[in-house]
Structure 1
């Protein structure tokens, strides 16, 4: 027990030293990690640092030298047990300071070091927050709540920075209030989802276990709800299969820039990337998407404001295999 306690204390001290080092290398820009209004911190190729605040556009706040940025990214890489080099000039992971998500690049991808820090919003908000912010209508709010209670499968669609994760976290909080006894399993690459339910398990991908592997493992955790942070490829088919075989009521997000139709097309294309769908044909995949995905929520961010661009119920397909949807 003494040895174990000493090891734990040693790990804590090591983490504290690392956090101090990272803050020192960020210098004056570290303050924005502590600002609850700031959502993103971005270093551009010209050395200017920009910050994005909730409900406002990005503004420049200063400059960072290439040497300072290189030192910071090298320390971030070391904290992730990685090395950033010309041969491997990218870094993606979680910032040890506060759990924010960081993506960094050095030469030859970028002439000078660049990075984007997306802060992890730890606040837990219910869906009615989005009514107060003018993001959704009371009617849309009521429909989504009924869909959660009815164990409908909900996919949130949007571009980068649109608020997909923010909205999904609100869905999770609403789920904990409406269905408090459901066991929730979340699966994601990095920790971004805030689970409010008492009975939950959170899994993360690793260099040896990807999203598909975790989805395959998920049934052993006996979840009532399976929530996937974001699907980007063939694992989409695995997720839909699980939702369609006794594990309905799941949430997920996908990246799509052009709204409703683009979101449905993205789901089809990702399913087609799975080896399991080889030879099944595009029409079969479309019918699967229409059968399994019950609700599509399209969220946008323009002019410093978020808005539900579309909220639709997916009814099925017609005789020509075109989607049938009801706008809410």
Structure 2
């Protein structure tokens, strides 16, 4: 039935809308009853332009990730860890591969034996990653991350337990003081969610320039310019890297320069920008702890040929705050765990110093860097509370 409807649509040159699919369905097979037509049209559109059996999961409130490991191995994450999606399966491994191909095409990317993986953004904002065999053993693997229609606010993060009320006050102060910050954490800890919420607090008279590999950030702000990297074409030409985007962003009069995820040589251009008058810049970085951030950035700087001492020298003067996120084992709760400030050791290397530590139950404790954080904000005209108790 799918092939017949697809052929009919191709013959008449019609887009696969609900009306055209219904007309093609009636032309391709004997008439159906009203409810049967609606069910058939819904199924056909899902197979033609949707995510097939995954459509219902992607539309379920609270689902953040949908993962396909095989025809009968579909997993979802509702924010409390992975769980098996009961009753959702594909006919066979070929159906999984076919869906991956179609989703990659919808995202304008190539997926075949010559390039057996894809990392892209679908038209509705869902992030797609797919890997074909033999890279993926046994079956095509598909990973979909659902993009929330509206970004969280800090108040909503406080309500869900991801952020303590005093933490929201401190982060708001850091943002108003135009301190540069990096949000660090592991995969799926909520780095992009928190960054989008913070950017929504930026003044409406400021211009935000986003540089991302995949357009994930959608802050609630009236003046946002989005730049997105691009992989090379089939001839290996036309690649645009994050480093290219950061360099172009500096010529676009940014009030806030934002790198969605610092993962390569672009760290050098970002640190140079933050050292030359571009205050209030921010981004995310993968790191297990806040203390690991300098070493992580040192490794990334080496990709651009920057020696260790030069990187740490720039880092100490460019970066003000590191916000560390964690995901609680068992409950799966994503939350802000620590705020760190940057300092230097006896060897001239950058180190992070805990300023505030947030407990899982909502309490917080000041750390050795608390006075330094208050002082940095005060120099920018923003007074943080003297006590956190």
The C-alpha deviation readout for 1:201-234, integer Å capped at 9, x for no partner, is 1111123321111111112211111011111111
Match of residue 224, structure 2, among 188, 200, 204: 200
Alpha-carbon shift at residue 84 of structure 1 (Å): 2.3
Deviations 1:112-162, CA, capped at 9 Å, x for gaps: 111100011232222232222222223322221111011111100011111
Which structure 1 residue ranges, 5 or more long, are not aligned? Answer: 1-10
Q: Give the unaligned 5+ runs of structure 2.
A: 1-12, 22-43, 232-238, 357-389
Q: How does 1:162-173 map to 2 (within 5 A)?
A: 162-173=189-200
Q: Partners of 2:210 and 2:312 in 1: how far apart?
A: 26
For 2:253 and 2:16, locate their aligned partners in 1 and report how far apart those are by CA, in whole Å: 36
Distance apart, 1:41 and its partner CA: 0.4
SS in structure 2 opposite 1:221? Answer: coil
Q: Distance in 2 between matches of 1:22 and 1:238?
A: 44
Change (3 A) 1:297 1:15: farther
> 2:258: which partner in 1?
227
* 1:47 positional shift: 3.7
Change (3 A) 1:219 1:283: closer
Residue deviations 1:49-104 (CA, integer Å, cap 9, x gap): 011113x22111133221110110111232244442223211111123x2200100
SS in 2 for 1:135: coil
**Change over 3 Å in CA distance of 1:237–1:130 after alignment to 2:** same
Specify which of 164, 168, 171 is matched with residue 137 of structure 1: 164
TM-score by structure 1 length? 0.86
Q: Which has more radius of gyration?
A: 2
1:104 to 130, 134, 142: 130
* Cα pair 1:43 1:116 within 8 Å, conserved: yes
Give the aligned partner of residue 379 of structure 2. none
Q: Is the 8 A contact 2:262 2:283 kept in 1?
A: yes
Give the count of matched residue pairs.
307
**Distance in structure 1 (CA, Å) of the matches to 2:143 and 2:109:** 18
Q: Secondary structure at the match of 1:220?
A: coil
SS at match of 1:139: helix
Contact 2:53 2:89 in 1 (8 A): no
**Normalising by the residue count of structure 2, what TM-score does the alignment of the two structures yield?**
0.73
Q: Secondary structure at the match of 1:239?
A: helix
CA contact (8 A) 1:22 1:75 kept: no
What value does the CA root-mean-square deviation take over the aligned residues?
2.4
**SS at structure 1 position matched to 2:310:** helix
- Hey, what's the Cα distance between the residues in 2 that align with 1:209 and 1:47? 38
Please say if residues 23 and 30 of structure 1, whose CA atoms lie closer than 8 Å, have aligned partners that are also in contact. Answer: no
Q: Distance in 1 between matches of 2:51 and 2:122?
A: 12
Contact 2:274–2:281 (8 Å) recurs in 1: yes
Question: Shift of the alpha carbon at 1:282?
Answer: 1.3
Task: Label 1:23 to 1:262 Cα distance change in 2 as closer, same or farther (>3 A).
Answer: farther
Asked if 1 retains the 8 angstrom alpha-carbon contact of 2:212 and 2:229, the reply is yes
* CA shift for structure 1 position 239: 0.8
Shift of 1:293: 1.0
Q: CA–CA distance in 1 between the matches of 2:211 and 2:298?
A: 21
User: What is the DSSP-based 3-state SS (H/G/I as helix, E as strand, rest coil) of the residue aligned with 1:38?
Assistant: coil
Distance in 1 separating the partners of 2:269 and 2:168? 29
**Helix, strand or coil for the counterpart of 2:114?**
coil
1:69 lines up with 2:96 in the alignment? yes
Given that 2:206 and 2:256 are in contact with CA atoms closer than 8 Å, whether structure 1 keeps it comes out as yes
Give 2:273's aligned residue: 242
